[in-house]
């Protein structure tokens, strides 16, 4: 980890079955992990997720939009790929900041707005919408909305975090066809959850969408044959609860040397 501090307790927000908690097991000095999730079956799916007897594991059933965490009580809160499901993301970020101790840290990763952009292009493209309109008499939203990197940076600042850091990465996974991608999304629990979505797609509409996806994005490899790409964009972010001990920028106009002098070496 880039942060060299040793934390005795970590809150895993939106923990699911505890994949992040399992990775934290090797973190030096950790004594307590608090897993929170809105799904009770998921929270208790793996009863013995941590094997280290020196780490106490707690599980708390909790909605990410209504955090039941004591204020100013936690030194480190983490969230791994769960916040894209939150409807009121600004409100959740404020609640997270309030739950942290002064100089406490929030570390997170979430899917960004360009995730599955190929599928979005197909689902919202004119060709697919015409196919759905023709076969089912109307169109429906097919991919859940997500935030982007610039918006996330703004949200962290607005929530009151100091020294914010935001980074972005992309992972591309190749599938034989769109149907294998959809199966993976279902098994991941990442299917479309928009309330006013049409609950099903007719087979002929899906076949039309798969054909459009392949026509637009398919790639051919001599060894692996033809496949379609699916891009997952991940936004990483860190924010600190403000504290008097944290470094602060100098006041505007207080510099003793200009950038021009530094560029010529005359200030050295």
Alpha carbons 64 and 86: distance in angstroms, whole number: 7
> For a pLDDT cut of 90, what percent of the chain falls above it?
44
For the chain, the residue count is 268
Q: Is the pLDDT of residue 13 over 90?
A: yes
Task: Look up residue 171 and give its two tokens.
Answer: 């992972």
CB count within 10 Å of CB 63 equals: 13
- Three-state SS for 12-56 is EECCCCCHHHHHHCCCCCCCEEEEEECCHHHHCCCCCCCCCCCCE
Task: Look up residue 88 and give its two tokens.
Answer: 């009121």
All structural domains of the chain, each given as residue ranges with its CATH number in brackets, are 63-244 (3.40.50.150)
**pLDDT tens sequence across 78-99:** 999 999 888 899 999 999 999 9
CB count within 10 Å of CB 101 equals: 14
Alpha carbons 168 and 108: distance in angstroms, whole number: 12
The pLDDT confidence band at residue 194, using thresholds 50, 70 and 90, is very low
DSSP code, position 251: P
pTM as predicted: 0.82
Separation in Å, CA 196 to CA 89, 116, 168, 190, 201: 20, 20, 30, 17, 14
**pLDDT tens sequence across 134-184:** 655 555 555 566 788 889 999 999 999 999 999 999 999 999 998 999 889
pLDDT for res 262: 67
Q: Is the pLDDT of residue 74 over 60?
A: yes
The pLDDT confidence band at residue 49, using thresholds 50, 70 and 90, is confident
């Amino acid at each position: 980890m880039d942060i060299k501090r040793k934390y005795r307790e970590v809150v895993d927000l939106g923990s699911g079955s505890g994949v992040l908690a399992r990775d934290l097991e090797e973190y030096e000095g950790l004594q307590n992990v608090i897993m929170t999730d809105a799904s009770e079956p998921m929270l208790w799916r793996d009863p013995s997720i941590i094997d280290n007897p020196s780490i106490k594991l707690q599980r708390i059933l909790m909605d990410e939009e209504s955090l039941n965490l004591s204020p100013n009580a936690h030194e480190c809160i983490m969230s791994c790929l769960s916040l894209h499901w939150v409807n009121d993301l600004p409100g959740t970020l404020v609640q997270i900041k309030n739950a942290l101790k002064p100089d406490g840290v929030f570390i997170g990763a979430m899917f960004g707005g360009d995730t599955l952009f190929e599928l979005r292009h197909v689902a919202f493209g004119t060709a697919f919408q015409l196919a759905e309109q023709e076969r089912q008499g109307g169109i429906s939203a097919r991919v859940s909305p997500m935030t982007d990197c610039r918006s996330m940076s703004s949200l962290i600042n607005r929530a009151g975090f100091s020294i914010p850091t935001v980074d972005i990465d992309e992972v591309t996974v190749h599938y034989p066809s769109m149907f294998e991608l959809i199966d993976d999304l279902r098994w991941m629990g990442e299917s479309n959850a928009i309330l006013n979505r049409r609950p099903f797609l007719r087979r002929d509409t899906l076949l039309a969408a798969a054909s459009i996806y392949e026509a637009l994005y398919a790639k051919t490899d001599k060894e692996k044959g033809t496949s379609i790409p699916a891009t997952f964009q991940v936004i990483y972010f860190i924010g600190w609860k403000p504290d008097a001990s944290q470094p602060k920028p100098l006041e505007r106009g207080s510099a003793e040397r200009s950038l021009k002098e530094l560029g010529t070496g005359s200030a050295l």
